[in-house]
Structure 1
Amino acid sequence: MKIFSQSMSTIETALNQTSLKQKVISQNVANVDTPGYKAKDVKFKDSFESALANNMQTFRTDSRHYELNRQEPNGAEVYAKRGVSFNESGNSVDMDQEMAELAANQIKYNALIDRMSGKFSSLQNVIKGGR
């Protein structure tokens, strides 16, 4: 029996992805002065598109409804950024870009934590019987 809804699992997956993005950004920032270091990034779009591309089998109440699948996304892929400029030491970390990505990732993470907190608050309310 599944106690928690699918949305909690989806939020958990998104939190794991933002956590991975945070680690990759932190690694880039830590190696900003390392000669020859190639900046890294994380790809989520491919796993999202592959999940959408799979035809899913679900119960449909109307033939006009889309078919969906409950298959988990393949995950994220960490890769070295391409098409970036290198400084004289061969390093490709751009601190301005990394800080902007860090801020955007932090906003996503905070929104996901807020949503998960709301889910647990709703669950707590149900357990208490609405009191």
Structure 2
Amino acid sequence: MAISFDRALGVHQHTLGIRSERAEVLASNMANADTPGYKARDVDFKAAFAKAQGNVASRQHLAKTDGKHITGSSQLSPELKFRVPNQPDTGDGNTVNMQTERNSYLQNALEYQASVRFLDSKFKGLTKALKGE
């Protein structure tokens, strides 16, 4: 009997990758806090999760009408969105709020650690089941 890792591991295998991607985006926002014209971005978790689970309806594909066409993709993935600023413009067009970014980064890190711990316990349970304990 084959083991279905999707069933055995649950959603945590998908959330781990999304949390990792979000950490990179939030770190990029913090690194560009003083860059004029930089627009803060964030990951749309719902869209990214649907894509990670293989939900075909959430994917966007371009039609190839000729064999010489290359696969198209946008610079921003569908789940990467610009954040609506919650502070007035400081005059340089930058929309990064460091306090919001730090809080989001910390929350994301905690959720990432929770997913790692859940995956760890799932793997320990699978190991015990395979050993017959």
Same fold (TM over 0.5): yes
User: Mapping of 1:59-74 within 5 angstroms?
Assistant: 72-73=54-55, 74=58
| 2:73 match | none
* One of 95, 118, 121 as aligned partner of 2:121: 118
* 2: CA distance, partners of 1:47 / 1:24: 13
Residue ranges of structure 1 left out of the alignment (5+ in a row): 52-70
Residue of structure 2 aligned with 1:86, choices 85, 89, 96: 89
Quote the residue 1:105 is aligned against: 108
Kindly state the Cα deviation for residue 118 of structure 1 after the two structures are TM-superposed. 0.2
Aligned twin of 1:60:
none
Contact 2:9 2:122 in 1 (8 A): yes
Asked which structure has the greater RCO (Cα within 8 Å, sep 6+), the reply is 2
Distance 1:83 1:92, change over 3 A: closer
Q: CA deviation at 1:88?
A: 2.5
Q: Report the RMSD for the aligned CA atoms in angstroms.
A: 2.4
**CA pair 129-46 structure 1, distance change in 2 beyond 3 A:** closer
CA contact (8 A) 2:30 2:101 kept: yes
Q: What is residue 72 of structure 2 aligned with on the other side?
A: none
User: Percent identical across equivalent pairs?
Assistant: 31
Report the CA distance between 1:44 and its aligned residue: 1.9
How many equivalent pairs are there? 110
For 1:111 and 1:94, locate their aligned partners in 2 and report how far apart those are by CA, in whole Å: 26
Where does structure 2 lack aligned partners over 5 or more consecutive residues? 60-77
CA distance in 1, matches of 2:48, 2:120: 26
Q: What TM-score results when the alignment is normalised by the length of structure 2?
A: 0.71
CA drift of 1:77 comes to 0.7
Aligned to 1:77: 79
Equivalent position SS for 1:126: helix
